[in-house]
Chains A and B, each alone.
Chain A
Amino acid sequence: MPLLLLLTSLAFVYELIKFIGGPAISIDVSLFGLDIHTIWRPPLKFRLASDLSMPHLWDIIEAFGKPARRGGPILLNELSVAALFTFREAFVGFILGALMGLILAILLVHFSLLERALMPYVIASQTVPLIAVAPMIVIWLRAGWISVSIISAYLTFFPVTIAGLRGLKSVHPDAIDLMVSYAATTRQVLFMVRFPSAAPYLFNGFKLAASLSVIGAIVGELPSGISGGLGTVILNFNQYYISGPERLWAAMIAAGVLGIASYLLVHLAEFLLLRTQPRGAEVKS
C-alpha cells in the first residue's frame, strides 16, 4: 500500500516537472462540434525535462509493447527474458555469497584472533571498484555467466558476514554458560543456540545481500561482455539512446522490478521461518 502511494506520487511529480518545464504540448479537442486547437507552453524551461532526457511515462509504457529493434520480440518479452537471465546469475551469486559470508562469520565468532586479523581485509575488499575487477574475473574463469555469479557473490558476502557476526555474538552470556553446564559440544551450541539467535540479524543481511546480488550481476555483465542479461541490454539501449530513449527507461524499470522482487523473496522466506518469534527480536539484549 505505501509502495503504491510512493510510486503514484513519483509518477505525478515526474509528469509535473515535464508539465512545468518540458516541451510544449499541442492539444486538439473536439467539443460540441467545434474543433479547438491550443498549445500549452510551459512557464519554465528545464533542459532535463525534454522528451529525450525524460520521455513521457505513457511513451515508456507504450514502448513495452513495441519491439526494440526491427523484427525482434516486443520489449516486454525481451526484458523479461533478460531479467530472468540476470536473476539466475544473481540467485547463484546470492547463494554462493551467503554461504561464504555465513562460514566466515562462524569462523570469526569462534576464533577472535582471526576476527581481529581478517576484519580489516574483509572491509577493504568492498572498496575495490567492481567494474575493474569484473573483466579480470571473467577472463580468469572463462566460464560464461557463472563468472558474473562470482562477481555478484563478491558483493553479497559482506553484509551477510557482518550481520552474521553480530547475530552469532548476540547470544546472552548466561545462555552460553547454560550450555556449558549441560556439557554441550561446540557444534550443539552453534546449531541449538547461536544460529536461531542470529536468524533475525541474518535475514537483515540477506535482504541487503539480495538487492546487492542483482546490482552485482548487472554490473558484472557490463564489462564482461556476457550477452543475454539485463546488463548488456542496458548497455545496448544506452549506446542507441537517441533513437529510442524510452527503451533505456523501460530497461531501468525492469532492473528495479528485479531488485525489488529479489528483496521480496527474502522477505517472504523470513516471514515463513520467523513468524513465531516476537517482533523486534533483534533488539533484545
Chain B
Amino acid sequence: MVKVKNEVKVALRGVSKIFDSGSISTKALEDINLEINSGEFISLIGPSGCGKSTLLRLIGDLLQPSSGEIQVNGKSPKRARLDRDYGIVFQSPVLFDWRKVESNVTLPLEILNIKPEKRRELARKMLALVELDKFENHYPWQLSGGMQQRVAIARALAFEPSILLMDEPFGALDEMTRERMNALLLQIWEKTQTTIIFVTHSIPEAVFLANRVVIMSPRPGRVSEIVTVDLPYPRDEDTRELEQYFELITQVREFIRSTETVNFSVPGEIQWQSEKA
C-alpha cells in the first residue's frame, strides 16, 4: 500500500501559458490551480488541445509559465530540475541506438558524474524493477516497443527521483501490452513510493492507475473536474471487472463530454519543444 503523505509535492497557483507564434497567440492553459500530495498517482486526462502535456512540461521546467506560480518539492521548477528531483518518460522511448540497454539507463548517472560501479549497480536494480534484467547487453532496436518503454522507465528512475512525470508513455502500445504495463507501473509505484503525474488519452487507464483523475477541458486549457478513485490498491486484472471501476469510467467520460464544445476555429499548432533547446 502506498502511503499518501499530507505533504504537498507539486503546487500550481493561477498558472497560465500562452504560446506566441508570429501573429497567432494560443492560450494553452488558463488559471490552473492544483495541489498534488507526496506519494499520489495523478492522471491528467482530457481531449486534444486541453493542455495536459503543456502542464506536465511546465512542472518539469521544460516550458515556462506566462503567469502564476509553480512549486515542485517546495522549490521553483527550475531548481527542482537542476536538483534532478524528477524523472520523465515521453510517448516515444527515445533510447539511443549506439548504447546498449544498460548504458542507456546509466546515461543520466553519467551526467551526474556517478562512479561506474555505482552506475552499474543502479542500472541493474532499475532493470530488475522493470523486469528486464536479462536484457542489459541488448541494443534498443532489438527490443519490442513495450520493452523499450520499460527501459525508458528504468532510465527515468535511475537516479531515484521522488517525482515521475509521464507523458502518454503507453500511447503507442497495443491494448494488451498497455494493460500489462499498467500493472507493472503500479508495482513500481508501490516499491519506489514516487509521486507520479501521468498524462493519458485513455479513460480506463486513467481510472485504473490513479488515486485522483484530473480532468481538463480545452480552449483554453483548464482543470474542469477532479475525480477521486477510491478503488482499493493493490489493483490488478480483477479490479478491471469491478462494477465500481466501470462506474468511475462512465463518470469521467461524462465529465469530459460535458466540457467538449463544438468549435470551428482551430488554433495554431502548439509547440511542445522545450524553450531551452
A residues at B contact (CB < 8 Å)? 172-184, 188, 192-193, 196-197, 199, 276-278, 281, 284
Chain A interface secondary structure, helix, strand, loop or mixed? Answer: helix
Mark the stretch among B40-48, B88-96, B179-187, B234-242 that contacts chain A.
Answer: B88-96
Q: CB within 8 Å of A: which of B214-258?
A: none
For the complex of A and B, 7 pairs with smallest distance between CB atoms: A174-B90, A196-B98, A278-B141, A177-B274, A174-B94, A182-B108, A183-B82
Q: Is B35 an interface residue (CB 8 A)?
A: no
Q: Are A180 and B62 interface neighbours, CB within 8 A?
A: yes
A sample of 20 inter-chain contacts (CB < 8 A) reads A172-B92, A173-B274, A174-B94, A176-B277, A177-B88, A177-B277, A178-B88, A178-B90, A180-B276, A181-B87, A182-B84, A182-B108, A188-B111, A193-B96, A196-B96, A197-B96, A276-B98, A277-B97, A278-B97, A278-B139
Q: Is B107 an interface residue (CB 8 A)?
A: yes
Q: Is B121 an interface residue (CB 8 A)?
A: no
B residues at A contact (CB < 8 Å)? 57, 60, 62, 81-82, 84, 86-88, 90, 92, 94, 96-98, 107-108, 110-112, 139, 141, 272-274, 276-277
A172-B94 CB under 8 A given contacts A177-B277, A180-B274: yes
User: A147 CA to B97 CA in the complex, in Å?
Assistant: 41
A277-B94 CB under 8 A given contacts A177-B274, A177-B277, A181-B81: no
Q: Are A183 and B110 interface neighbours, CB within 8 A?
A: no
- A1 CB to closest chain B CB (Å) equals 28
B-chain residues with CB within 8 Å of residue A188 when the two chains form the complex: 111
Q: Are A181 and B62 interface neighbours, CB within 8 A?
A: yes
A-B contact sample (9 more), CB < 8 A, given A178-B90, A178-B94, A181-B88: A173-B273, A173-B274, A175-B94, A177-B57, A177-B90, A178-B88, A180-B81, A182-B108, A182-B112
A199-B90 CB under 8 A given contacts A181-B60, A181-B62, A192-B110: no
User: A183 CA to B57 CA in the complex, in Å?
Assistant: 14
Q: Are B97 and A177 interface neighbours, CB within 8 A?
A: no
- B160 CB to closest chain A CB (Å) equals 14
B-chain residues with CB within 8 Å of residue A172 when the two chains form the complex: 92, 94
- A199 CB to closest chain B CB (Å) equals 7
B-chain residues with CB within 8 Å of residue A183 when the two chains form the complex: 81-82, 84, 111
A-chain residues with CB within 8 Å of residue B90 when the two chains form the complex: 174, 177-178
A-chain residues with CB within 8 Å of residue B87 when the two chains form the complex: 181
B-chain residues with CB within 8 Å of residue A176 when the two chains form the complex: 273-274, 277
Instruction: Please give me the residue from chain B that is nearest to A195 by CB atom.
Output: B98
Instruction: Please give me the residue from chain B that is nearest to A177 by CB atom.
Output: B274
Instruction: Please give me the residue from chain A that is nearest to B152 by CB atom.
Output: A178
User: A192 CA to B104 CA in the complex, in Å?
Assistant: 11
User: A12 CA to B112 CA in the complex, in Å?
Assistant: 64
Instruction: Please give me the residue from chain B that is nearest to A173 by CB atom.
Output: B273
Q: Are B273 and A276 interface neighbours, CB within 8 A?
A: no
A192-B107 CB under 8 A given contacts A174-B94, A278-B97: yes
User: A234 CA to B96 CA in the complex, in Å?
Assistant: 48
User: A179 CA to B276 CA in the complex, in Å?
Assistant: 10
Instruction: Please give me the residue from chain A that is nearest to B82 by CB atom.
Output: A183
Name B62's contact: one of A177, A199, A277 (CB within 8 Å): A177
